[in-house]
Amino acid sequence: MKTSVQAGVAGLLACGTLLTVVLVARDGGDDSDGHTGIAYSSPTKGPYVALGDSYTAAPGITDPTGTPAGCDRSSGNYPALVAAELGLKGRDFRDVSCSGATTTDLTGSQHTDDGTNSPQLRAISSTTRLITIGIGGNDIGFSSMIKRCVAMGTLYEMTGSGKYIAEDAPCERNYVNGDSDAVKAKIATAGDRLTRILTEVGRRAPEARVYVVSYPALLPSDGADCGRDMSLAPGDVTFLREKEQQLNSMLRQRASEAGVGYVDTYTPSKDHNACTAKDTRWIEPLVPQNPAAPVHPNARGERGMADAVLHTLKSAL
C-alpha cells in the first residue's frame, strides 16, 4: 500500500462543495447494480474523516443522522458509501460534514437551525489516514444563484411567450457587467481560503491521503430548455454551467498546488444532470421528484460520487 499521495490533478457546488482524503488498497470490478463494487486486496486502515458541505452531507436522502441534527447528514451520503466499501466503521469513520457549510466553517463553529457544528478541522489529527472535504459552493452562493436564475427564467418564459432567444441570459446580467464578474471574484477568494485549509490539513494530518472532490454536473452541456422544474433561459444554462466549471477548475488547481489529489465527479455525471429523466438523474431539479434537497444529489448521485472517489483511489495505488 502506498503511504503518500499521488496527486494527479487537472482542472466544483449547495449549494455545497467537496474535498476527499483516502487511504486504500484494492481491486476493480462491476456489479449488477451498476456501481463499482470494487474489492480491496487488503483491509484499509482508518481513521477516515469526512469534511464538507451539503453535497457531502446529502440532506433529504434519508432521515438526518449524527449530531447536530441541523447538519442534515444522510447515512447514504458518499462518505458513508466510501467507508462501507473500505470496511471502515466505528471510530475509524467520522463524518462531520454539514449542510450550508462554507470554508470558514472548517476552522470556525457553524450554527444551524438545530445545534452547532464544531469547527470541522477539529475532527482530524496526526492519526487520521483518510480525509474527505467538500467545500466551496456556498462560498460563491451557488444555490441562491440557481434559485434566482430559475425565478428570472420563469418570468422570461412568461413574457416571451415561451420562446427563448438562444443567447439571452437575463440572470447573468445580475452578476457580470463588462469586465466585472462578481462570481469569478468569489471563486478566487474561496480558492485562497481553500489553499490555507489544505495547508492546515497537511499540518494536522501529515500521513493522510487527501483528495479534493469536484461538484457533479448540475446542468446539460448545451443551452437546452430544462423544463418547468428548472425554467432557465438558454443563455443562463450556459452561464451557470460555466460558473460551476470555473469552481471545479479552481478546486483542481488549488489541490494540485497543495500536492493533494482531485476527484472528478463532473465527467461521469454529465448525462445525469438535473434536466435528465427522473430515473437516471443524479441531481434533483428545484422541485425534487426523488428524495433529496432541491438542486442536490439524490441517492443515485451520492452513489456515483462515491464510485468516482473509489475509482480515483484505485488509480492512485
Closest CA to 18 of 53, 47, 49, 48: 53
pTM for the whole structure: 0.83
Compare 235 and 107 and report the one with higher pLDDT.
Answer: 107
> Could you read off the pLDDT of 272-302 as tens digits, one per residue?
999 999 999 999 999 999 999 999 999 999 9
Q: Provide the H-helix boundaries in the chain.
A: 54-57, 78-86, 104-107, 142-159, 182-204, 234-258, 266-269, 299-316
Please pick, among 272, 296, 311, 315, the residue that the annotation labels catalytic: 296
Residue 43 has pLDDT above 80, yes or no: no
Please say whether the beta carbons of 230 and 279 come within 8 A: no
Residue with cell 480491496: 40
At 5, is the pLDDT very low, low, confident or very high (cuts 50, 70, 90)?
very low
Measured distance CA(25)–CA(232) in Å, rounded: 44
Inter-residue contact 135 to 52 (CB < 8 Å): yes
What is residue 283's three-state secondary structure?
Answer: strand
- How many C-beta atoms surround the C-beta of residue 287 within 10 A? 11
In the chain, where the domains are located? 18-140+182-218+245-316
Q: Peptide bond before 47: cis, by omega within 30 degrees of 0? A: yes
- Buried b / exposed e over 148-162, threshold 16 CB at 10 Å, is ebbebbbebbeeeee
Contact criterion met (CB below 8 Å) for 108 and 196: no
Which fold is adopted by the domain 18-140+182-218+245-316? Rossmann fold (3.40.50)
Which of residues 127 and 233 earns the better pLDDT score? 127
pLDDT reading at 56 higher than 60: yes
Which residue among the candidates 54, 97, 143, 214 is catalytic per the annotation? Answer: 54
**19-23, 150-154, 306-310: which range is least confident on average?**
19-23
For the record, the C-alpha cell of 107 comes out as 476552522
Q: Is 214 a catalytic residue?
A: no
Peptide bond into 68 cis (omega under 30): yes
Q: Which residues contact 85 (CB under 8 A, 6 or more apart)?
A: 36, 38, 40, 306, 310
Q: Are strands 93-95 and 48-52 parallel, antiparallel or unpaired?
A: parallel
Query: Given this model, what pLDDT does residue 295 score?
Result: 95
Mean pLDDT throughout 117-129? Answer: 97
Between CA 128 and CA 87 the distance in angstroms is 16
Active site residue 111: no
- Phi and psi at 261, nearest 5°, equal -85, 175
Cα separation of 214 and 31, whole Å?
A: 25
Q: Which three cell numbers stand for residue 243?
A: 460558473
Computed on alpha carbons and rounded to an integer, the radius of gyration of the chain in Å comes to 19
C-alpha cell at 249: 477548475
- Whether the pLDDT of residue 112 is over 80: the answer is yes
Q: What mean pLDDT is predicted for residues 200-211?
A: 96
Q: Kindly give, in sequence order, each residue whose CB lies less than 8 Å from that of residue 162, ignoring residues fewer than 6 positions away.
A: none
**DSSP 8-state code for residue 13:** -
Q: Say if CB 93 and CB 47 are below 8 A apart.
A: yes
